[in-house]
């Protein structure tokens, strides 16, 4: 059976979500990557609530630079929002994407800003 990219990503995403769950103390940091933008959310899976979010489309300062630089800015923004909410450690959910390029840049920037994975 032939898969297209989206079906393949959904299948990988399902296997990741079996193992990764977020709580109020240690929420899930999930990443969504489109062709032009990148977004990150902190999700408490127990109550089904998004605790914080950041994206390259929302923030004016994240619109400058190439996509990898935008991802770094979004990573540092989500880490700052997490710290103001009192969150120090998260579970990283790459959402079916490869841990490479923009996804890795976002995660590294969040780590540098003080989030623990």
pLDDT at 64: 79
d(CA 13, CA 95): 5
Model confidence at 21, in pLDDT bands (50, 70, 90)? confident
Domains of the chain: 5-112 (3.30.420.100)
Within 8 A by CB and 6+ apart from 68, the residues are 101, 102, 105
Tell whether pTM > 0.95: no
Model confidence at 65, in pLDDT bands (50, 70, 90)? confident
pLDDT at 56: 93
d(CA 48, CA 50): 7
pLDDT at 46: 93
First to last CA, the chain: 36
């Amino acid at each position: 059976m032939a898969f297209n990219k989206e079906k393949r990503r959904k299948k990988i995403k399902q296997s990741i979500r079996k193992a990764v769950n977020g709580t109020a103390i240690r929420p899930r940091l999930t990443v969504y990557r489109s062709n032009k933008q990148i977004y990150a959310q902190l999700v408490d899976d127990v109550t089904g609530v998004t605790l914080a979010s950041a994206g390259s489309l929302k923030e004016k300062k994240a619109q400058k630079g190439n996509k990898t630089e935008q991802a770094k800015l979004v990573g540092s923004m989500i880490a700052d929002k997490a710290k103001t909410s009192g969150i120090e450690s998260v579970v990283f959910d790459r959402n079916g994407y490869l841990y490479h390029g923009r996804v890795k840049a976002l995660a590294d920037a969040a780590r540098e800003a003080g989030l623990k994975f």
